[in-house]
Amino acid sequence: MNEPRIAPLPREEWTEEVGQAIAALLPSGAERPVRPRTGGSKGHNVLGTLARHPQLMHAFLTFNGHILFNSTLSPRHRELLILRVAALRQAEYEWEQHVVLAAEAGLDEEEIARIADGPEAAGWSVTEAAMLWAVDELVSEAMICTATWQKLAGALDEHQLMDLVFTVGAYDLLAMAFRSFGVELDEDLVRS
């Protein structure tokens, strides 16, 4: 696409309702990140696009806030899942945004690059390979197969299993939205 199908609402036009929707991203009791993200996007294009529909924005950001701040999965595992969804869906915005977050969660450059190669790439632990398989299965079949589930259930508790499925689902939905709406990369995400 040469331009967005739904252009971001300029910040100066964001209403109080949009501000409340953004505030919903941080669930009650969740801790804000200790330091500001370095090198990461301010997310203007995503937030500006969502600002076109404040009620939807509020509902989705409330849910997404759980995934980002209250999930029972570790930040490393959350980012592993999100980046695999982005790779499978060829969701450039999602990939570039979460490369920054993955690095902050402790994934190194080689691991981040390897996510695109998938669960069969050398170097993954049994649990992380199973998580990548789960993403592939959820995206292609909308279900985790029994063998993968058993591997995951041996390492994760019920809450983590549920958070895994909902994380993949949320970021699969976002990939669809970003690509369908034509959300462009924010300037600070564009690699030279």
Distance separating alpha carbons of residues 60 and 83, to the nearest angstrom = 19
Question: Is 149 strand, coil or helix?
Answer: helix
Of 4-8, 19-23, 35-39, the poorest mean pLDDT is in 35-39
All domains of the chain in start order, with CATH: 14-189 (1.20.1290.10)
Q: Distance between terminal CA atoms of the chain?
A: 20
Q: Which long-range contacts (CB under 8 A, 24 or more apart) does 15-20 make?
A: 15/54, 17/54, 17/55, 17/58, 18/51, 18/54, 18/57, 20/54, 20/58
CA-based nearest residue to 53, from 82, 4, 17: 17
Compute φ and ψ for 151, nearest 5 degrees.
-65, -45
Q: Find how far residue 36's CA is from the centre of its chain.
A: 18
Q: What is the per-residue pLDDT across 85-132, written as a single tens digit (0 to 9) for each?
A: 999 999 999 999 999 999 999 999 999 999 999 999 999 999 999 999
Distance separating alpha carbons of residues 164 and 155, to the nearest angstrom = 12
Q: What is the per-residue pLDDT across 32-68, written as a single tens digit (0 to 9) for each?
A: 543 334 444 467 899 999 999 999 999 999 999 999 9
What residue has token string 């902050």?
Answer: 104
69 within 8 A of 27, measured Cβ to Cβ: yes
Which pLDDT belongs to residue 186? 85
CA-based nearest residue to 47, from 23, 79, 71: 23
Q: What is the per-residue pLDDT across 124-156, written as a single tens digit (0 to 9) for each?
A: 999 999 999 999 999 999 999 999 999 999 999
Distance separating alpha carbons of residues 183 and 47, to the nearest angstrom = 10
